[in-house]
Amino acid sequence: MKESIPRKTVYRLSLYKRCLERLINGEGATVSSDVLAKVAGVKPTQLRKDLGTCGQFGKRGLGYDVVTLHRRLSDTLGRASLQPVILVGAGNLGSALLRYEEGFAREGFEIAAAFDAQPRKRSRDVKAPIFPLARMGRFVSEHGVKMAILCVPGTVAQEICNNLVASGIQAILNFAPIILQVPGKVMVNNVNLAIELENLSYFIR
Amino acid sequence: MKESIPRKTVYRLSLYKRCLERLINGEGATVSSDVLAKVAGVKPTQLRKDLGTCGQFGKRGLGYDVVTLHRRLSDTLGRASLQPVILVGAGNLGSALLRYEEGFAREGFEIAAAFDAQPRKRSRDVKAPIFPLARMGRFVSEHGVKMAILCVPGTVAQEICNNLVASGIQAILNFAPIILQVPGKVMVNNVNLAIELENLSYFIR
DNA sequence: CTGTGTGAAGGCTTTCACAGCC
DNA sequence: GGCTGTGAAAGCCTTCACACAG
């Protein structure tokens, strides 16, 4: 059953997991694919197909046991243990994300450290230390950090990305407005607010 | 001209436009699909197919004129005129985005106003005024605002979304960690950092 | 010979239809 | 009757192959 699940499906599994968490304190101990699909904004058949990729555990005529399904999704999606992440670039967006630390922790990610070209004094609400960029590479390799959140200006993003890759980073959540060139083994997810806005504005004509 | 470009293609057209902007000050006045595709992280054939949706203007044997192509993309994607947007929720993320105002302006979007349940005093770096939520609906309908950026907690997101829709909002860039239920005419793009991280962590196993 | 434009093929996702179990 | 599981069909996107212009 270890056959690779498609990327889009994995994305939706994460979504279902979060929807379940909102239902878990709710009424029934069981959900139908119709109800869960509606909350997640997908079609019921799609939901069932997606769940099919990680085994079968629905009760026909009844639905899915909320707790069991949630545990199953968590198992499939990966460790419940805290995955350490570093944040690079503590500008506007970067420091906002740092302040959102508890939020990340709740989701299973710990911001182990932050790095910036101009490290500031630790600000009131930010617990994680902000180190100079020069220390980044060593921190990554010494602590075996696998994931980084990149919030630096586009002009320096590729260079910093190269350093991250050289230090052994395997995945990058990239907020910089360029497409990073990385070796195939490194995975990058891009978040580009300008493009999202432009996309919306196209469709409202 | 061609009607209804697929959503994914529109997204990539935005991407190409931004890649061009980085090349526009560079050397040649012309780009080949190979070069541009590499910068954008797609295959050359895909790029050509995508460009095909908004007319043809490449010179065979030469490539595309950078300036012409850029103008064509801008025309296709929508007005170069400033589209007004409101921002709802001035917490960590919301105020970081407000501070990024110039960035949005450069991309063609103006944050006309911000709203929050607890409006604060205007902070140093933030130019846009932060109004109480109660004024949101009227502002939207009176100014004919079509787009909103939603950065409120999940617990109140749907309710606020309903107000926005009732006031005539047509598109929402949603950072709240739930799937909003909206009428079909309203378009929503979701940005969920936790899911992006979880997605990355799945694939690095 | 270089590099675009495009019909056709191929691959991937979603949806349908219905069988099977509670 | 209600609801899941799944092969088959449909739809959508991407890639290929090649004609054709500069």
d(CA B98, CA A119): 22
Phi then psi for residue A13, to 5 deg, are -60, -40
- Name the nearest CA neighbour of B13 among A187, A112, A202: A202
* pLDDT at residue number A100: 85
Mean pLDDT of A46-55: 96
Instruction: Give the residue among B72, B77, B94, B78 at the shortest CA–CA distance from B151.
Output: B94
pLDDT reported for residue A160? 98
d(CA A201, CA B46): 23
| B134: closest CA of chain A, how far (Å) | 25
Taking only the tens place, the pLDDT of each residue in B2-59 is 468 999 999 999 999 999 999 987 777 899 999 999 999 999 999 999 999 998 889 9
**H/E/C letters for each residue in A20-67?**
HHHHCCCCCCEECHHHHHHHHCCCHHHHHHHHHCCCCCCECCCEEEHH
**Rounded CA gap, B15 and B85, in Å?**
21
Orientation angle between helical segments A7-23 and A33-40, nearest 10 degrees? 100
Mean pLDDT over A165-190 rounds to: 97
Return the DSSP state at B189.
E
What per-residue confidence (pLDDT) applies to A1? 41
> Tell me, what's the pLDDT at A101?
83
**Which amino acid makes up residue B65?**
D
Using CA atoms, how far residue B90 sits from A179, B95, B128, B133, B150, in Å, is 29, 5, 11, 11, 9
Rounded to 10 deg, the angle between the B7-23 and A193-203 helix axes is 130
- DSSP per position, B16-56: HHHHHHHHTTSS-SEE-HHHHHHHHTS-HHHHHHHHHTT--
State which residue of chain A sits closest to B168, comparing Cα positions: A204
The angle formed by the CA atoms of residues A117, B192 and A189, to the nearest 5 degrees, is 60
Region A60-87: mean pLDDT is 91
Q: Check A22 against B202: CB less than 8 A apart.
A: no
Tell me the shortest Cα–Cα distance from B125 to chain A, in angstroms: 10
B59-CA/D19-C1' distance, Å: 15
Q: Which residue is nearest to nucleotide D6 (CA to C1')?
A: A49
pLDDT band at A163 (very low <50, low <70, confident <90, very high): very high
C5 C1' to A82 CA distance, Å? 50
Cα pseudo-dihedral B120, B126, B131, B137, rounded to 10: -140
The mean per-residue pLDDT over the stretch A94-120 comes to 90
Q: Cβ B189–A181 below 8 Å, yes or no?
A: no
| B78 CA vs C8 C1’ separation (Å) | 32
Predicted pLDDT at A136: 98
B133: its two tokens: 């939520």
The residues that bridge with A85 in the sheet, in sequence order, are A111, A147
Nucleotide nearest to B31 (CA to C1'): C3
Find out whether B136 and B115 touch, Cβ atoms under 8 Å. yes
- pTM for the whole thing? 0.94
pLDDT tens profile B152-202: 999 999 999 999 999 999 999 999 999 999 999 999 999 999 999 999 999
pLDDT at B133 over 90: yes
How deeply is A126 buried, as exposed, middle or buried, from its count of CB atoms within 10 A (0-12, 13-18, 19+)? Answer: buried
CB distance B93–A77 less than 8 Å? no
Lowest mean pLDDT among A5-19, A75-89, B168-182: A75-89
Distance of residue A146 Cα from the nearest chain B Cα, in angstroms = 8
What's the rounded Cα separation, in Å, for the pair A160 and A165? 9
Cβ(A87)–Cβ(A98) below 8 Å: yes
**Closest CB to A201 among B83, B95, B99:** B83
One-letter amino acid at A202 equals: Y
Residue B101 in contact with residue B128, Cβ under 8 Å? yes
The pLDDT score that the predictor gives to residue A17 is 96
How confident is the model at residue B128, as a pLDDT? Answer: 78
Q: Which residues are within 7 Å of strand D by their Cβ atom?
A: A 31-34, 44-45, 48-49, 51-52, 56-64; B 6-9, 42-43, 45-46, 49, 59-62
pLDDT averaged over chain A?
92
Residue ranges and CATH numbers for the domains of chain B are 7-76 (1.10.10.10), 83-197 (3.40.50.720)
Average pLDDT score over residue span B78-93: 87
Give the pLDDT band (50/70/90) at residue A125. low
**What pLDDT is stored for residue A80 in this prediction?**
63
